[in-house]
Amino acid sequence: MKYLITIVGPTAIGKTALSIDLANHYNCEIVSCDSRQFFKEMTIGTAVPSPKELAAATHHFIQNKSIFDNYTVGDFEKEALSKIEELFLNNDYVVLVGGSGLYVDAILKGFDEFPAIDPYIRENVNSQYEKLGIEYLQQQLETLDPDYFKAITSENPQTLQNPQRMMRFVEVCIGSGKPYSSFLNQKKNNRNFTPIIIGLEAERSIIYDRINQRVDIMINEGLLAEAEKLYPNKELNALQTVGYRELFSYFDGEFTLPFAIEEIKKNTRRFSKRQLTWFKRKENTKWFDYLTNRTEIIKHIENQSE
């Protein structure tokens, strides 16, 4: 039997440290599924593991892409599953770690199959978006699939601002005559491993303190210079990310620097809340306080893999 030890939880909770400890304990390797740590141009603002941490265990999917690459969650699913299968040839355990819920789900259960859509419909939806803006897509989805619109609004609101994903939702609704959500969770994707899902959590005040401290550290380590270097490409999808967007607004003269830093902290706190909401829905997750002794977590893994 092969086991994918999957570590989830909000940002700044200590997932990286735990993943390294478990990889060393099981003499196995780490697959990262943090959707912003893929990009080699984004180091400080995405809290990429330090050189010391990267040297402590073998990591995959860390800074292996460029912000100029068109890299989708579907691409990641194919590449990561192939790598995991390769790693299982030499070990019964692999560690999967990251705070990007959609990417975790891609590995654990895959995506659903949708009907082919008439290119004319796709072209028309795109044309309407270009004329009327993102509000058109939001209104269409709310009308055509109100349940899914409500779920996104409460659990993953940044998706409402993503034109590519919103156009996809709308074109499926129009092209099929059915709600987009009716195609979800239909197909069972077989996996050749058993996931053991570990969640790290803490009191909200502790999470928020850790986030605030991390942002201060990022600023001290040179996040401002990193963001300034990326500023000419600020429209790229990869850069629509907390920690960079706020500094781009500072460069645009919309924010003062102190205000931009406070906005980074505030938006990261909001993001961590959404992460917890996403991961708390996941069945079969064993939650541990972030200070839990490693031996207790290992004991749980051993019990699950007997």
Q: How far is 222 from 243, CA to CA, in rounded Å?
A: 12
Annotated binding residue 101: no
CB 72 within 8 A of CB 78: no
Query: Closest by alpha carbon to 54, among 65, 45, 43?
Result: 43
Annotated binding residue 14: yes
Q: What element of type H or E holds 3? A: strand 3-8
Annotated binding residue 84: no
CB 223 within 8 A of CB 46: no
Annotated binding residue 243: no
Annotated binding residue 256: no
Question: Residue 31 in 3-state DSSP?
Answer: strand
Task: Give the chain's count of helices (H) and strands (E).
Answer: 13, 6
Side by side, the strands of the sheet bearing 3-8 are: 59-60, 30-32, 93-97, 3-8, 194-201, 285-289
Q: How far is 11 from 270, CA to CA, in rounded Å?
A: 10
Annotated binding residue 58: no
**Angle at alpha carbon of residue 223, lines to 220 and 227, rounded to 5°:** 160
CB 96 within 8 A of CB 69: no
Q: Which two tokens stand for residue 304?
A: 């699950």
Query: Closest by alpha carbon to 30, among 65, 63, 2, 6?
Result: 6
Annotated binding residues for substrate:
11-16
Annotated binding residues for ATP:
9-16
Annotated binding residues:
9-16
